[in-house]
Structure 1
Amino acid sequence: MSLITLTTDFGTKDHFVGAVKGAIYSELPDARIVDITHEITPFSITETAYILKNSYKSFPDKSIHIVGVDAELSPENKHIAILLDNHYFICPDNGIISMIASEINPTQIVEINIHDRVESSFPVLDVFVQVACFIARGGSLGVIGKEIQTYKKMTEIQPKINSNETQIIGSVIYIDNYGNVISNISEKLFTEIGKGRNHRVIARRYTFDKINNKYNDIVNYEIDENRNHYDGERLAIFNSAGFLEIAIYRSNLNSVGGASSLLGLDYRDTVMVEFY
């Protein structure tokens, strides 16, 4: 039996997550369901794209990923099912898939067409669950919809490069649980454009002359016995997902604070790398 994951902005206070799981178990009593997260900022497509890109690869091939963010059906927001990198994604066609598909071309995309039989204001429950269970039973994507060749792309997920390749101009796409600020500038792009040149990172009025490999690279273990005084120091790092992050060392939102609050950085703010 395939594994089914859930990524939504439903939170856990209301009945929505429980209802979706109940519907899956009603169709597939032996199903295996994993919650990736239900704490997406409501309707945040870029946040969803970042989390999906950095979580789906940890699951087995043929896993089925239900994505319930900004999922209400409309003429501009159709529902699609995608086979990509040997994983299935059932989601709205609102750009959520852009970050994954920017590096790996989808094998197959279909526009889901079971809406003629299902009228719903809760499509994750009434449509996405049906599609996921059909695929889990071995069903073909071609049966649930007509094949299409394109999907909606989100240009804001991709950083820009100036004409003489001396700047990568990115933006904040995610703020994590520690208040660390993640940009859309990947280490791969940094390496390709930088070509080993000197560089600095600029975020608002703050400049970073070094990009660290680990958070504790800022600590001098040879001469500092009291390492607590590094707590709260700001740094730039390529995080475990391979994206440029502005962080506060050993940040704690209840005491020290995070990079977002301490440096005044928020979603869509500019983060730039300059080469010289």
Structure 2
Amino acid sequence: MAIITLTTDFGWKDPYVGAVKGAILKELDAVTIVDISHDISPFHIAEAAYIIQKAYDSFPDGTIHIIGVDAEHTPENKHVAILLNGHYFICADNGSLCLIMSKLKAEKMVEINIHDRISSNFTTLDVFVKTACHIARGGTLEVIGKPINSLRSITGIHPQVSESGNYINGQVIYIDNYGNSVTNISRELFKEVGRGRTFELAARSEKHKVIYDRYSDIVNFDTPPEKRDVDGKGLVIFNTAGLIEIATYRSNPLTVGSASTLFGLQLDAPVIINFENK
């Protein structure tokens, strides 16, 4: 049975998510439709890139992923279908896949060219659904598109290293449900540039010299629970995606606060790591 996932900025109030699912079910008798997220900030490609990178490889090979974020078809926003790491991706060529493709090379990429056969203003409902169902039936990418060699990236999605090698300049690319601020600086880049040197991470008013592997590493469990006083304290970790994340312990934006609210670390906020110059 085919699996089709949906990642969009549609939200849940409007009828669009339901309409897309209905259109898929009209085309396919047997299909599993999985919602990855419909709460991407409107038109925010970096958020979409992070979420799809974090989620896609939890699915079986052959899964088809529709990404409906900033997907209006224009001369500058072409539609593509890609076979990458055993998975199919259908999206606009707007940088949605740049995090995945920074580490992996696509097996096939085509620019979708079936628009003249479809009359619609709702790209994800029609062109993306038709393409996904074609693939689910065993159709090839070459039938619905012409081969291409590269995809667009987006400014700011990748951190910059200074010429001296003493600084990494990154930014917040995602705010999770707990208000934690995820950056675009990976563990691999941190280790490659840092080479074991001491460092200071600066993000607005926050400054940190330790990066933990788990949120609970900030807790001294030898201290009685009533004396710990760590809820809401700031910390930095390498999260499960291998990216540096600025967080607060047991954060809750509605009670103790969160990194995004307490420290002002919203989307695109700058994050700088300064390594000791030896």
Same fold per TM (> 0.5)?
A: yes
Matched residue SS, 1:229: coil
Deviation sequence 1:16-52 (CA, Å, 0-9, x none): 1111111111111210110001111111100000000
Shift of 1:159: 0.1
Q: Count residues with an aligned counterpart.
A: 276
- Corresponding residue for residue 67 of structure 2: 67
- Matched residues in 2 for 1:146 and 1:158: separation? 28
| Cα distance in structure 1, aligned partners of 2:193 and 2:107 | 29
- 2:94 paired residue number: 94
C-alpha deviations, 1:179-217, integer Å up to 9, x for none?
100100001111111111111211112210100111111
2:243 alignment partner in structure 1 = 243
Q: Please tell me the residue identity of whatever aligns with 1:119.
A: S
**Distance of 1:267 and 1:225 partners within structure 2:** 34
Deviations 1:147-187 (CA, angstroms, capped at 9, x unpaired) = 01111111311000001211111001011111100100001
Residues 1-276 of structure 1 aligned to structure 2 (within 5 Å): 1-226=1-226, 229-276=229-276
How far is the alpha carbon of 1:273 from its aligned partner?
1.2
Let me know the Cα RMSD of the aligned residues. Answer: 1.0
* Letter aligned with residue 108 of structure 2: Q
Q: Which amino acid aligns with 1:81?
A: A
1:69 & 1:144 partners in 2: Cα distance?
21
Provide the C-alpha distance between the structure 1 equivalents of 2:81 and 2:15, rounded to a whole number of angstroms. 25
Provide closer, same or farther for how the CA distance between residues 227 and 63 of structure 1 changes in structure 2, counting only shifts above 3 A: farther
Secondary structure of 1:165's counterpart equals: coil
Paired residue secondary structure (2:220):
coil
SS of residue in 1 equivalent to 2:132: helix
Conserved 8 A contact 2:219-2:228: no
Letter in 2 for 1:203: A
Which structure 1 segments of 5+ residues have no match?
none
Distance change (3 Å), C-alpha of 1:177 and 1:161:
same
Structure 1 residue ranges (4+ consecutive) displaced by more than 3 angstroms after TM superposition = none
State how far apart, in whole Å, the 1-side matches of 2:224 and 2:190 are: 32
Q: Is the 8 A contact 2:220 2:228 kept in 1?
A: no
SS class of match (1:237): strand
Give the 3-state SS of the residue equivalent to 1:7 in structure 2.
strand
Q: Shift of residue 13 of structure 1?
A: 1.0
Measured after TM superposition, the shift of residue 227 of structure 1 is 5.4
